[in-house]
Homo-oligomer: A and B are copies of this chain.
Amino acid sequence: MNPIVSSISLNLPRPSPSDKRADRERLLDGLAETGINMPVELGLKILQILPSHLRENDFSITVTLGFLRDKAKVIAINNASVYGVAIDIGTTNMVASLFDLSRGKKVSLIEMENPQINSGLDVLSRVHEAMSGKSEDLHKSLIRGVNDLIRNLCSANNINHSDICAVVIAGNTIISHFFLNLPVENIPVEPYIPAAGAFDFLSPVDLGLDINPNGIVYVFPNAGSYVGGDIISGILFSGLYKDKRPSILIDVGTNAEIVLGCDEWIMVGAGAAGPALEGGISEIGMTAKEGAICRVRINRDNYAAQIETIGNREPEGICGSGMIDLIAELYNANIIDSRGSFTDGRSEFIIYESKRKKLAIKATDIDNFLRSKAAMFSLLYVMVKSVGLRFIDISRIYISGAFGTGIDPAKAISIGMVPDIEIERFRAVGNSSLKGAEMLLMERNLLADIDRICGMITYREMNTDGEFMREFPAAMFIPHTNPALLKA
């Protein structure tokens, strides 16, 4: 393991009449002798404290180095601990994990709402707010939020801010721009141009982040307005860019983003398949958290729903994986037909009812869900076909996010949402955006992989794609008007 920041202990020769090297050069020579074969930068602050550190410790010191691609930077001298923080900044939630980089261990994980949510639930409304002169506010609220995460991690684990030497951030293109206070107005309009694709390593001081002021901040690059750092990070974590055989990574958010690729090429497509799957549209929909219905069986005797909830609490709504179960069961029990219509003309199906609460699914909820599942399947079908492949050629289907964790691939196949391939090929990968950022914290050589991934990506806009449009209507059916296509 080669963490992005690591400490090296040096026993330097003491100065003498025959060895009059200056402190800086003595240190650099010592580092070179340990095998550091890149330029090492000593900032002014470090240079100012170096002479006393050397002499108070008889020229035996520990140097904490940050590795910035083709150079290293001295972050601290004689720092006892070296921590790093990986953060996935989502549109809705931010998740941060704290790593003890010297022991290579994850110490803590924390989640909070993205404070920008007060300026709009989706990024586009935040872009509009930014364009009305509130760009700086949006930036600052994000920095405040990240500082809150860091402060909470520090206090919960009893460590100093100055022990945090690196922060790695993954977020979509607009969020990353907000984080860096870069203009966002050109991102969502033709021809969709971000201010930057990749970013140099950044100074926490320039950003106002409360970590070691000499520390390093890395923001995952994007591959265009619609392929953000979160996707790049997810691809990194999945490892699909290293496989000889093509695989798919499905990331469900506001959009569904589909990555199809192997070690030679990567195609990313996105379409409006997300909301109903993440629970954003239907009245009873919710994200996969405590109180969400995640499993549904329908008793064939009394047609009553038997449910499981996350945390075994009274249900508050239904999450994406629960919806897949529900729709599959409603169809298999013949309560809805292949168009998703109630066979007996009813207006809703009650999933749960108590004195306090009633959760029922309505015809419009089913219709919305089927649009999402149709979009998902059409995306997968059109993309796989466009590169001359068949579903059978797909080595793995990685499904990221909370949605992926709960999903039962057999049920998703049975309603025609995903291809009908062996269920062993499906892999739930959790928060792949966060996990990619965590991987980079622990292995700096992945920087080159990230660059390679960015260079391999081609983006295909699917929402307006003719073939996607043609495939979509047939995929609205359960499982499909032509079920053979699921295995095509």
Interchain CB contact (< 8 A) of A20 among B51, B192, B195, B199: B192
Tell me the A70-90 residues at the B interface (CB within 8 Å).
70
Q: Which residues from B are CB-within-8-Å of A191? A: 15-17, 19-20
Q: Which residues from B are CB-within-8-Å of A199? A: 47
Q: Which residues from B are CB-within-8-Å of A195? A: 22-24, 47-48, 50-51
Which of A116-124, A145-153, A179-187, A342-350 is found at the contact surface with chain B?
A179-187
Q: If the complex has contacts A48-B182, A183-B48, A183-B51, are A41 and B200 also in contact, measured as CB distance less than 8 A?
A: yes
Q: Which residues from B are CB-within-8-Å of A24? A: 195-198
Are B20 and A180 in touch, CB under 8 angstroms?
Answer: no
A192–B18 alpha-carbon span in the complex (Å): 11
Closest chain B residue, CB of each to CB of A70: B39
Are B207 and A44 in touch, CB under 8 angstroms?
Answer: yes
CB of A272 closer than 8 Å to a CB of B: no
CB of A439 closer than 8 Å to a CB of B: no
Interchain CB contact (< 8 A) of A23 among B45, B55, B192, B193: B193
A63–B183 alpha-carbon span in the complex (Å): 19
**Hey, what's the 0/1 contact readout for A438-482 against B, CB within 8 Å counting as 1?**
000000000000000000000000000000000000000000000
A215–B360 alpha-carbon span in the complex (Å): 64
Q: Which residues from B are CB-within-8-Å of A20? A: 191-193, 224-225
CB of A194 closer than 8 Å to a CB of B: yes
Which of A180, A194, A196 is packed against the most chain B CB atoms within 10 Å? Answer: A196
Closest chain B residue, CB of each to CB of A41: B200
Which of A20, A43, A186 is packed against the most chain B CB atoms within 10 Å? Answer: A20
CB of A301 closer than 8 Å to a CB of B: no
CB of A353 closer than 8 Å to a CB of B: no
- Give, as a whole number of angstroms, the nearest-CB distance from A356 to chain B: 51
A191–B190 alpha-carbon span in the complex (Å): 66
Interchain CB contact (< 8 A) of A17 among B15, B21, B23, B190: B190
Closest chain B residue, CB of each to CB of A55: B186
Interchain CB contact (< 8 A) of A21 among B47, B180, B197: B197
Are B52 and A183 in touch, CB under 8 angstroms?
Answer: yes
Tell me the A12-62 residues at the B interface (CB within 8 Å).
15-17, 19-25, 39, 41-45, 47-48, 50-52, 55
Q: Which residues from B are CB-within-8-Å of A424? A: none
Are B17 and A194 in touch, CB under 8 angstroms?
Answer: no
**Hey, what's the 0/1 contact readout for A191-220 against B, CB within 8 Å counting as 1?**
111111111101000110000000000000
Are A51 and B186 in touch, CB under 8 angstroms?
Answer: yes
Q: Which residues from B are CB-within-8-Å of A19? A: 191
- Give, as a whole number of angstroms, the nearest-CB distance from A29 to chain B: 11
- Give, as a whole number of angstroms, the nearest-CB distance from A168 to chain B: 17
A195–B194 alpha-carbon span in the complex (Å): 43
- Give, as a whole number of angstroms, the nearest-CB distance from A26 to chain B: 8
A48–B206 alpha-carbon span in the complex (Å): 12
- Give, as a whole number of angstroms, the nearest-CB distance from A334 to chain B: 48
Are B23 and A194 in touch, CB under 8 angstroms?
Answer: yes
- Give, as a whole number of angstroms, the nearest-CB distance from A205 to chain B: 10
**Hey, what's the 0/1 contact readout for A387-430 against B, CB within 8 Å counting as 1?**
00000000000000000000000000000000000000000000
Are B51 and A197 in touch, CB under 8 angstroms?
Answer: no
Are B182 and A47 in touch, CB under 8 angstroms?
Answer: yes
Q: If the complex has contacts A190-B17, A192-B20, A224-B20, are A25 and B180 also in contact, measured as CB distance less than 8 A?
A: no
Q: Nearest 9 A-B pairs (CB), nearest first?
A: A24-B196, A22-B197, A22-B194, A15-B193, A51-B183, A25-B197, A51-B195, A15-B191, A23-B195
Contact surface of A with B, Cβ cutoff 8 Å = 15-17, 19-25, 39, 41-45, 47-48, 50-52, 55, 70, 180-183, 185-186, 190-200, 202, 206-207, 222, 224-225
Q: A22-B224, A47-B195 are in contact. List 16 more A-B contacts (CB 8 A).
A: A21-B193, A22-B194, A22-B196, A23-B196, A24-B195, A24-B196, A24-B197, A25-B197, A39-B70, A41-B200, A44-B181, A44-B207, A47-B182, A48-B183, A48-B195, A51-B186
In the assembled complex, 24 residue pairs joining A and B whose CB atoms fall closer than 8 Å, in A order, are A16-B191, A17-B191, A19-B191, A20-B191, A20-B192, A20-B225, A21-B193, A22-B195, A22-B224, A23-B193, A23-B195, A24-B195, A39-B70, A41-B200, A42-B196, A44-B181, A44-B206, A44-B207, A47-B180, A47-B182, A47-B196, A48-B181, A48-B182, A51-B183
